[in-house]
Chain A
């Protein structure tokens, strides 16, 4: 028990250590949905379409509400916890009337009143005056249709040091009144970072794990999220666009036509995501601390290698990708016999290389097997290295290759596997 509690991110550690990585300028952007949108759009990252902004009651009064067709959302720019959001689904028969997600009806007067509330600061922190934002409503993607109640699910990705370290799907439920907010009863569903497949569903409100959608037999685990690589990449690119946020939550929705869009950011992401994934977050962040992450793709690849769930191996094998360690036992095929030996996977080497003594012992240097010799400059001067045919099994796959032979007696490994043979493999660092 003692080993694991140090790996769980508690509120104390989150506040003292990780939230300190967010500078005030970054927090300001994350707390304002408008500033977030501006910054992301400038960086070329996709967000839901902005339909209108009211900064004061004059702009509100000048707005022609009849211009709005349907599928729009009214939000407080500085709102939090999902407060003050009205989601309009479609037009009612009369102009100036609309149906909400729960089929209740609203008219221009109601919406105007609500906008005035937002402007007066009812939904913002410390009741400070706020702006109003009207955005397009993102319709629920097909994959979620049977799982979410009356609202659009979103995917929260925690990004740290340009690596997506954990992710969860938030499913609106009856309890949450169609909101994707865990505090209000939405389900938090863990997602395997390698495959984008859901794992466990947790209800923070009920304090327990849920297997099926209530009142149905649909299992919540095993859902494969579409655009998964794009979602992770988008999350990391978001952090790249706002480097003053070192530890952040990126909330992403999937639009039917445009794919993943960034809905909003969170500069103080909660720690419940650990329960949804049944995994400690601090351990993951410590694992990627100090890594030099080149770009978003690199960050995503690191995450998928390091944080794959146990079942990910099987799934990725279907996709043709096999994960291996730095040291693997390979079975050399010599004269129809298998010789087991420990190899080092060296992505710094191009060609697989085998120790001369070992090659001799196995009969690999017999004349038929040598293809040609190659002059190679090594740390010991120029060397003549024969290239031989070599076949072996690596992690269950048969590999036919041309290996170099070198005197490696002084080195620890009798054989090193180079990049040329590693197509379709992913090496765990």
Chain B
């Protein structure tokens, strides 16, 4: 056993939550996936933070509930931005009001979830949801200057990436690998990003985008 394996084992024996260890080790892998999905596949999505945060949140809320939470946050953020634009406020107070709107909408949803039969929402840890609420500002920032069709496309791409990220977090194989071969799991993102970072070829979606030129 090498030093990393020993350290991980010792930490768990000492009481560190297994889930914490596994999630932290797999997190860079998911982030690398997001990077690869942009430069190799051509998905744009909402950057790195949001897909990764959604993937993480889905681990705690489950897919169905998680997507509903995401939808509520996204829609309330978009709608409130539309309303707030009419007010000629300074930027930061405007964003704070946006967060106010989104928080209240999320709270309302959690409160009515028992009556809708969505019991998971009432019992889960609130942290991942709060992270998503805080990221509402990022959602908005990306939407500026884009048409509805493009914003919808970005949202869809983000969800696809987040779902794959979720599968990575949930994968039995990868979870065990994180515990038994932490050094490999920690090293893989470095390798992935070294390759992706220098890649100058066409993105997969670009083959489709420029299909008419590729005679």
Bound-state CA distance A183–B147 (Å) is: 8
| Interface stretch of the complex, out of A119-127, A152-160, A314-322 | A119-127
Query: Given the interface contacts A81-B145, A122-B91, does A5 sit within 8 Å of B203 by beta carbon?
Result: no
Nearest-CB distance from B74 to chain A (Å)? 21
Q: Which residue of B lies closest to A1 (CB)?
A: B214
Bound-state CA distance A120–B90 (Å) is: 7
Asked if B212 and A278 sit within 8 Å, CB to CB, the answer is yes
Asked if A4 and B202 sit within 8 Å, CB to CB, the answer is no
Nearest-CB distance from A309 to chain B (Å)? 14
Residues of B within 8 A of A113 (CB): 88
Bound-state CA distance A278–B147 (Å) is: 25
- Interface code B86-110, partner A: CB below 8 Å = 1, 0 otherwise? 0010110000000000000000000
Asked if B201 and A10 sit within 8 Å, CB to CB, the answer is yes
Asked if B146 and A278 sit within 8 Å, CB to CB, the answer is no
Q: Which residue of B lies closest to A11 (CB)?
A: B203
Residues of B within 8 A of A380 (CB): none
- Interface code A4-26, partner B: CB below 8 Å = 1, 0 otherwise? 11001011110011000000000
In-complex Cβ contact of B213 among A8, A120, A127, A205 (8 A): A8
In-complex Cβ contact of B198 among A16, A80, A82, A184 (8 A): A16
Residues of B within 8 A of A117 (CB): 88
Q: Which of A158-186 contact B (CB under 8 A)?
A: 183-185
Asked if B213 and A4 sit within 8 Å, CB to CB, the answer is yes
In-complex Cβ contact of A12 among B201, B207, B215 (8 A): B201
Q: Which residue of A lies closest to B202 (CB)?
A: A10
Asked if B214 and A17 sit within 8 Å, CB to CB, the answer is no
Bound-state CA distance A318–B207 (Å) is: 38
Nearest-CB distance from B211 to chain A (Å)? 10
Asked if B206 and A10 sit within 8 Å, CB to CB, the answer is yes
Q: What is the size, in residues, of chain A's interface with B at 8 Å between Cβ atoms?
A: 31
Query: Given the interface contacts A117-B88, A127-B91, A183-B150, does A10 sit within 8 Å of B213 by beta carbon?
Result: no
Interface size bracket, B side: 20 to 34
Asked if A5 and B214 sit within 8 Å, CB to CB, the answer is yes
> Could you say which of B147, B203, B206, B215 has the most chain A C-beta atoms within 10 Å of its C-beta?
B206
Q: Which of A65-83 contact B (CB under 8 A)?
A: 80-83
Nearest-CB distance from A118 to chain B (Å)? 12
Asked if A5 and B90 sit within 8 Å, CB to CB, the answer is no
Asked if A275 and B213 sit within 8 Å, CB to CB, the answer is yes
In-complex Cβ contact of B200 among A16, A120, A205, A275 (8 A): A16
Asked if A13 and B200 sit within 8 Å, CB to CB, the answer is yes
Q: Which residue of B lies closest to A207 (CB)?
A: B209
The yes or no answer to A274 lying at the interface (CB within 8 A) is yes
Bound-state CA distance A100–B118 (Å) is: 51
The yes or no answer to A201 lying at the interface (CB within 8 A) is no
Q: Which of B73-90 contact A (CB under 8 A)?
A: 88, 90
Residues of B within 8 A of A82 (CB): 145
Residues of B within 8 A of A81 (CB): 145
Q: Which of B160-215 contact A (CB under 8 A)?
A: 198-203, 206-207, 209-210, 212-215
Residues of A within 8 A of B201 (CB): 10, 12-13
Residues of A within 8 A of B212 (CB): 209, 275, 278
Residues of A within 8 A of B150 (CB): 183
Asked if A8 and B145 sit within 8 Å, CB to CB, the answer is no
Nearest-CB distance from A255 to chain B (Å)? 27
In-complex Cβ contact of B202 among A5, A127, A209 (8 A): A5
Nearest-CB distance from B103 to chain A (Å)? 22
Bound-state CA distance A275–B90 (Å) is: 40
Query: Given the interface contacts A4-B214, A205-B147, does A120 sit within 8 Å of B91 by beta carbon?
Result: yes
In-complex Cβ contact of B149 among A127, A205, A209 (8 A): A205
Nearest-CB distance from B197 to chain A (Å)? 9
Nearest-CB distance from B209 to chain A (Å)? 8
Q: Which of B95-149 contact A (CB under 8 A)?
A: 144-147, 149
Asked if A121 and B210 sit within 8 Å, CB to CB, the answer is no
Asked if B213 and A279 sit within 8 Å, CB to CB, the answer is yes
Asked if A17 and B210 sit within 8 Å, CB to CB, the answer is no
> Could you say which of B198, B212, B215 has the most chain A C-beta atoms within 10 Å of its C-beta?
B212
Residues of A within 8 A of B206 (CB): 8, 10-11
Nearest-CB distance from B10 to chain A (Å)? 43
The yes or no answer to A280 lying at the interface (CB within 8 A) is yes
Q: Which residue of B lies closest to A181 (CB)?
A: B145
The yes or no answer to A365 lying at the interface (CB within 8 A) is no
Nearest-CB distance from A191 to chain B (Å)? 16
11 cross-chain CB contacts under 8 A: A8-B213, A10-B202, A11-B203, A12-B200, A12-B201, A80-B145, A81-B145, A183-B145, A183-B147, A209-B212, A274-B213
Kindly list the 6 A-B residue pairs having the minimum CB-CB distance in the complex, ordered from nearest. Answer: A10-B202, A13-B200, A81-B145, A10-B206, A4-B214, A16-B200
